[in-house]
Structure 1
Amino acid sequence: MSVFWTWNGLKRNAPGVILFIGAFAVMIMSAANKWANDASPIRSVDTFDANVESVQLDHGRGIYLVSIENGSSVLIDDDRPHLIGSRTSIERVTRDNGFVFYRFVN
């Protein structure tokens, strides 16, 4: 009777299997974290004036580098166009679980 696996075959394939399982576990944890953040209610919204410094476009969406009036910079993902160098208003949104993100004011 033939055996489909051998000890040497298992040792040879172990790094790939471990890498695959590890990548899958990271994807599941990342998705669970996003689901938890989306389910957490918004605690506060603060509005700031900011300058659009640069943008990187990716399939119709832009990742904007925005400098806030206090000198710090944040990245904002948005699908609407914003002119580089323009003044705009952004919101800092804080959720009950402590997660903070920034968005452009509508």
Structure 2
Amino acid sequence: MILFGGLFATMVMLAQNRWVGDAIPIRSVDPIDATIEGVYWHRTSMSQYGLFLENNALVFVDADKPRLIGSHVRLERITRDNGFVFYRFAE
């Protein structure tokens, strides 16, 4: 019973941390070019794409729209006020 309570408390704290992260304002949105290296499927309905950026760094971006491996795409580098950086496909 104590173990279950501890796990539940941990899950709540992690969920709150994610909610707080989504509430942090966006500082900048910068366009960046990338090349799709591959696609990785997981249990959710979304696909995760591996992309090489202009500086040959590898990043992963979730998307539900199919994309062609090897194609060049435009991404947006999102920087939040707390310094957290993530990428998304430019629509």
TM range (shorter): 0.7 to 0.9
String of CA shifts for 1:61-88, please: whole Å, max 9, x gaps. Answer: 1111111010111110111111111100
Q: TM-score, normalised by structure 1?
A: 0.76
Aligned: 1:55 with 2:9? no
Moved over 2 A (4+): 17-23, 57-60
Higher percent of residues as helix: 1
CA distance in 1, matches of 2:2, 2:40: 35
Give runs of aligned pairs for residues 1-106 of structure 1, distance below 5 A.
17-58=1-42, 59-106=44-91
Secondary structure in structure 1 of the residue aligned to 2:65: coil
Higher percent of residues as strand: 2
Secondary structure in structure 2 of the residue aligned to 1:24: helix
Unaligned ranges ≥5, structure 1: 1-16
Counterpart amino acid of 2:28?
S
Once the two structures are TM-superposed, the CA of residue 46 in structure 1 deviates from its matched residue by: 1.1
How high is the sequence identity, in percent, across the aligned residues? 52
Secondary structure in structure 2 of the residue aligned to 1:22: helix
Once the two structures are TM-superposed, the CA of residue 18 in structure 1 deviates from its matched residue by: 4.3
Give aligned pairs, total: 90
Larger CA deviation: 54-63 vs 67-76: 54-63
String of CA shifts for 1:37-58, please: whole Å, max 9, x gaps. Answer: 1111110011111011111124
